[in-house]
Amino acid sequence: MSRFAGKVAVVTGAGSGIGAASAMRLASEGASVVLADINEDAAQSVAAKITAAGGTACAVRCDVGSSADWRHLAAAAEHQYGPQVDVVHNNAFTLDRHAAHEMTEESWDHQISIDLSSIYRSVRTFTCRLRRARGAIVNTSSVHALLGFPGHPAYAAAKGGIVALTRQLAVEYGPEIRVNAVLPGPIRTPVWDGVPPADLERLAADVPAARMGAPEEVAAAVAFLASDDASYITGAELLVDGGYTVKKSGR
């Protein structure tokens, strides 16, 4: 497929997991991709894989909690590919597991800044370009927007906020920009590294699909929402969770 031929896409948190898979998927469909990540070496590694496969990509170090870094990202994208930006996938995140009463205020503020306020910074940075391109924004939320899990208060607040913000942005910037969100469930990304296999098996057993998802499966949803195939979809939340949120365990 070449749904993104001649288009420029920016992906944050692109050094691993869902972001890396999305960057590779968009590039495989013809996009010139700017991979943004606080871990520049990781982003460079993914960009190298894309170029080795015949795609077009560059990597930029970006702390999405920093407005200055967003300005640097925009300048780097323009230097590499010109002023055009057609797709922005806001995917960067951080997570600190503590109950609310045990979480420091600094940790709360940091998680909200990275997981939610980064989308505000993204909009401030790229809205004019996206409007000119009649482009698309895809935000990575989570099933944490819909379900409660112990030890995730700031993360859940941010992911729920992303859903609300996605709707607001769709209204604010339509029809020039479409804005949608994906809500991944249990996806086998590096965040699960170190979890005992038995625990992963128990988690998979609670999913109607009977397995954890792959980052590439979320990337496929991201590419769909960013493409013209989703031309009449905006303000939507697409669950990519193998049915996780619709199953009530009998135990």
- Per-residue pLDDT tens digits for 180-237: 999 999 999 988 888 899 999 988 988 999 999 999 999 999 999 999 999 999 999 9
Active-site annotation holder among 81, 155, 173, 244: 155
Looking at residue 229, the DSSP 8-state letter turns out to be: G
**162 part of a folded domain:** yes
**250 part of a folded domain:** no
- Cβ–Cβ < 8 Å for 31, 13: no
In total, how many domains does the chain have? 1
- Cβ–Cβ < 8 Å for 63, 40: no
Query: How far apart, in whole angstroms, are the C-alpha atoms of residue 39 and residue 60?
Result: 9
Here the tokens at position 79 are 């230097």
- Cβ–Cβ < 8 Å for 43, 122: no
- Per-residue pLDDT tens digits for 68-84: 999 999 999 999 999 99
Q: With 80 as the cut, is the pLDDT of residue 248 above it?
A: no
Query: How far apart, in whole angstroms, are the C-alpha atoms of residue 225 and residue 157?
Result: 24
Q: Cβ-count burial of 128 within 10 angstroms (0-12 exposed, 13-18 middle, 19+ buried)?
A: exposed
**248 part of a folded domain:** no
Query: How far apart, in whole angstroms, are the C-alpha atoms of residue 219 and residue 33?
Result: 14
- Can you count the helices (H) and strands (E) in the chain? 8, 7
Strand 136-140 with 237-240, pairing: unpaired
Residue 179: CATH number of its domain = 3.40.50.720
**245 part of a folded domain:** no
Is position 155 annotated as part of the catalytic site?
A: yes
Work out the mean pLDDT of the chain and round it to a whole number: 96
pTM of structure: 0.95
Domain that holds residue 54: 8-237
